[in-house]
Amino acid sequence: MKVLVAGANGHTGRLLVQYLHEAGHEPFGLIRKEEQKAKIEELGGTPVLADVTHSDVGYAVKGMDAVIFAAGSGGSTGADQTEAVDRDGAINLVKATESLGIKKFVMLSSMAAGEPERGPESLQHYMKMKGEADDYLKSTELDYTIVRPGGLTHDESTSQIQVGEKVDQGTISRADVAKTMIACLQEPNAYHKTFEMIQGDTQIEDALKSL
Ligand SMILES: NC(=O)c1ccc[n+]([C@@H]2O[C@H](COP(=O)([O-])OP(=O)(O)OC[C@H]3O[C@@H](n4cnc5c(N)ncnc54)[C@H](OP(=O)(O)O)[C@@H]3O)[C@@H](O)[C@H]2O)c1
């Protein structure tokens, strides 16, 4: 499967490219900077220079079988970037995917997206913006999956997770988030689903079948 990973130079994005390649898929890494190309190639991906906030992002999506959004403005930028990247950039990519007739889209969202009152004050704007992007994706005809992890860690993968419409606050490794998002591509039971996720004691494949 040809899969575009937006945010491919990010911590989770790099793992997505690596694991997609190892699983026999053909990953394309959407990156913003020329100097990030070598890393994507080293991980087994094909680099694509693009910016999710630009209206012409469709050229990066063309020819793909699926799209994964793992980009994010990060904690060190202001509210304007949260709106531009986490909400509008995500929506931009969803629109490009839909207009090109590609069906599968996996969104890296966040626990409590759309429910800012569940999070700390400092994250409430971010959660609102993530919720708005998720709502847009849900309104489309795409075979979407919206993955809402708790706090992301750099721990090793255990491939053991807990999923649910809502789960208790907790953490999960970026490695297991990446593996779960990839598994969602080919698990029809995960299509048209939104779920929260933390580290747990259920194998990823079984957890997705339980949704
Ligand atoms: N941190 C947490 O605990 C947590 C919890 C739940 C959900 N999340 C979500 O998970 C996402 C991924 O986390 P992470 O730590 O892997 O992220 P990360 O390392 O910060 O990577 C984000 C990537 O997005 C890219 N990006 C930013 N703006 C872009 C744009 N306009 N167009 C294209 N790419 C753009 C960045 O590119 P550059 O490399 O060029 O800067 C970066 O590579 C976060 O953004 C957040 O929404 C995080």
126 is catalytic: yes
Of ligand 1's atoms, which has the minimum distance to the CA of residue 89? 31
Contact 4, 48 (CB under 8 A): yes
pLDDT for 42 equals 98
Segments forming the whole domain that contains residue 62? 2-209
Domain CATH for 30: 3.40.50.720
pLDDT for 111 equals 97
CA–centroid distance, 7 to ligand 1, in Å, is 6
Give the containing element (helix H, strand E) for 129.
helix 124-138
Mean pLDDT split into 10-residue runs, the chain, 211 residues? 98 98 98 98 98 96 98 93 98 98 98 94 96 98 98 98 98 98 98 98 98 97
pLDDT for 75 equals 86
pLDDT for 11 equals 98
Q: What is the pTM of this model?
A: 0.98
Return the best residue to mutate from 12, 171, 199 for the ligand 1 pocket (most ligand atoms within 8 A of CB): 12
Report the number of distinct structural domains present in the chain: 1
Query: How does strand 160-164 pair with strand 202-203?
Result: antiparallel
Query: How does strand 104-108 pair with strand 151-153?
Result: unpaired
Residues with CB under 6 A from ligand 1: 6-7, 9-13, 32-33, 51-53, 70-74, 85-86, 89, 108, 110, 149, 151-152, 174
